[in-house]
A and B are shown apart, each in its own frame.
Chain A
């Protein structure tokens, strides 16, 4: 019961803040918040592999990109496709990519898995560049139509209006994050977590490790695809360096490390801090990487478990304080 309460202490303010953000923030700040939310979902999907299944991916951007290109192609080539099906097509593209690669990927783990994912993501980069007549290559595709969101009973909501788009996007991202959280709590989720600790024993208990790994990959890719799809809609543009560039796979990874591995919510905080840093340094992009590296070094030295450890430390101190106040109060009553 108490555990649940503590969970809600994180969730309620976060949901509340996201809900009122457009009322109190300017248009520019809203785009930052939305960008943050998109990369938070991307980082959570990566963290599902990293912290829960124990698989380090250096090429997660390929699923993000598959989601972005899938949605953009749907909007470009399917006449009058509604918004949600377009997002769905993006997510499906990413999931199918993961499914197609899974026969190779499930055989690998550790460094091999990391290198293999990086290689596949590089191959995808090359393919997108090669077929630049379709993908737009470096220039990308932009200016595609953003359809209205049709909700039965309410009617069409104009998605070109920033505030409307913000609420729609935040809802999609939020539901996706919740589904992934729930996924970790299901019986299959516990198989996934056990695979991280000891895949051999999971097999000896009678679970098929390869198929289970493939399922985790597909789920993680699906949500990376959702993030990529929303990103493309948000930017109204997709380009190879925007979604498949060298940092596209590493930024979410760094966010996971900043936030703290092993927790579900960590990457969200990591993305928040990462985005803030990038924005603060946006006037001096040349020095941004330098500052970023410096922060990472400090983090590794003083908070190796990520900022989430700070939260646990504060929570633990708070509990001690609470107990002390309680016992002092009881003593006072006695006297």
Chain B
């Protein structure tokens, strides 16, 4: 099933990526190829540099060295908005929504971005019914319709997490980087989240950072293990599960995915 999803070309290529925070090197010579249409998980203990890797790919930080190629074109150090317009989206580990706006208004921003409505000064947004309908359709799809008119900062944690993911997915990116979408969720909520990710990322390429091995092994076609800013191994879930280096470095002697 995983193989049928794969196509040959790689949508994202990372080559010799290094990053420093001041004197301290946090990413060492990262090389990665993300195949189009796959779900690729990045795992590793806290402080391994996973979020920093996302930040350097998406232009929050300009990497100290190395290259990022998106859809075959060099995009190293491009700003987030430019990358987003080219089809690279991301979600955040810590909810990063518009706290004082309602769920509807939050999501409508993403729909506006998707519809490429930016410098429009002449229409009343509330009367743009196509945008409203599209936003409502998305809210229904992700199960946030009951919370439509609640300010984002009053949402329950699980719902807020769902909105966070929705903001990233509603702009309809070709490649999306999800930073621990199920962080801090209960078993039941995690289960729901995995279902939602499956639904929303159909036909898309996904790179996902996750600590929850249930999520990783149920979603990922390929897994990369990051340790102290270096790639320890990249392979299929089965390869990673049995990889000796990963076992000793990352999980002591317990087998990765035992919890699954």
Residue of chain B at shortest CB distance from A186: B121
Chain A, interface size category, equals: 20 to 34
Contact of B96 with A198 in the complex, beta carbons under 8 Å = yes
A202: chain B residues at CB < 8 Å are: 109
Chain B residue with minimal CB distance to A206? Answer: B84
Specify which of B60, B119, B124, B168 lies most central, judged by the most chain A CB atoms within 10 Å of its CB: B119
Query: Whole-angstrom distance between the alpha carbons of A228 and B205 in the complex?
Result: 54
Q: How far is the CB of B59 from chain A (nearest CB, A)?
A: 9
Apart from A207-B81, A209-B81: 6 A-B pairs, beta carbons within 8 A? A188-B121, A191-B118, A198-B97, A200-B96, A205-B84, A206-B81
Could you tell me if B122 and A186 are in contact, using CB atoms closer than 8 angstroms? yes
Nearest CB in chain B: distance from A113 CB, A: 20
Q: Are A197 and B110 in contact (CB under 8 A)?
A: no
Minimum distance in angstroms from B80 CB to a CB of chain A: 5
The one of A190, A193, A201 in contact with B167, judged by C-beta atoms closer than 8 angstroms, is A201
| Residue interface bits B115-157, CB-to-A below 8 A is 1, else 0 | 0011111111110100100000000000000000000000000
Whole-angstrom CA separation of A208 from B116 in the bound complex: 12
Cross-chain contact of A197 among B99, B125, B168 (Cβ < 8 A): B99
Q: Known: A185-B126, A191-B118, A197-B101. Contact between A204 and B108, CB under 8 A?
A: no
Chain A 137-156 interface 0/1 with B at a Cβ cutoff of 8 Å (1 = within): 00000000000000000000
Contact A190 B124 (CB under 8 A): no
Residues of B within 8 A of A (CB): 58, 60, 79-81, 84-85, 89-90, 92, 96-101, 105, 108-110, 112-113, 117-126, 128, 131, 167-168, 171
Answer whether residue A7 sits at the interface, using C-beta atoms and an 8 A cutoff: no
Residue A332 CB within 8 A of the other chain: no
Taking a contact as CB atoms closer than 8 A, the residue among A182, A188, A200, A203 that contacts B120 in the complex is A188
Q: Which residues of chain B have C-beta atoms less than 8 A from A189's C-beta? A: 125
Contact A185 B81 (CB under 8 A): no
Give the docked Cα–Cα distance between A186 and B131 (Å).
12
Whole-angstrom CA separation of A186 from B109 in the bound complex: 12
Point out the residue from B84, B96, B128 that lies within 8 Å of A187, measured CB to CB: B128
C-alpha gap A151/B118 in the complex (Å): 36
Contact of B97 among A182, A201, A203, A206 (CB under 8 A): A201
Which residues of chain A in 170-214 are interfacial with respect to chain B, using CB atoms and an 8 Å cutoff?
182-183, 185-191, 193-194, 196-198, 200-209
> Shortest beta-carbon distance, A323 to chain B, in Å?
19
On whether the beta carbons of B108 and A198 are closer than 8 Å, the reply is no
Given A190-B109, A205-B84, A206-B84, decide whether A185 and B124 contact each other with a Cβ distance below 8 A.
yes
Cβ distance B88 to chain A, nearest Cβ, rounded Å? 10
Instruction: Report yes or no: B171 in contact with A206, Cβ–Cβ below 8 A.
Output: yes
A203 lies within 8 A of B109 (CB): no
Contacts of B120 in A (CB 8 A): 186-188
Task: Give the residues from 199 to 250 in chain A that come closer than 8 angstroms, CB to CB, to chain B.
Answer: 200-209, 215
Q: Please pick, from B80, B101, B117, B118, the residue contacting A204 in the complex, using a CB distance under 8 A.
A: B80
Complex CA distance for A201 and B96, rounded to whole angstroms = 7
Residues of chain A in range 261-312 having any CB-CB distance to chain B below 8 Å: none
21 residue pairs A–B, Cβ–Cβ below 8 Å: A182-B124, A186-B120, A187-B118, A187-B131, A188-B118, A188-B119, A188-B121, A190-B112, A190-B125, A191-B118, A194-B109, A196-B100, A198-B99, A202-B109, A203-B79, A204-B80, A205-B81, A205-B113, A206-B171, A207-B81, A207-B113
Query: B92 contacts which chain A residues (CB < 8 A)?
Result: 201
Could you tell me if A207 and B96 are in contact, using CB atoms closer than 8 angstroms? no
**Contact between chains at A194 and B121 (CB < 8 Å):** no
Output the nearest chain B residue to A208 by Cβ-Cβ distance. Answer: B81
Is B109 touching A191 in the complex (CB atoms < 8 A)?
yes
Which parts of A28-85 form the interface with B (CB within 8 Å)? none
User: Across the two chains, which residue of chain A brings its CB closest to B59?
Assistant: A203
Please determine whether B81 and A204 come into contact, CB atoms closer than 8 angstroms. yes
CA distance A193 to B97 in the complex (A): 12
CB-based nearest A residue for B87: A206
- Residue pair A197, B118 in contact (C-beta under 8 Å): no
Contact, CB under 8 Å: B113 / A194: no
In the docked arrangement, what's the CA distance between A68 and B112, Å?
38
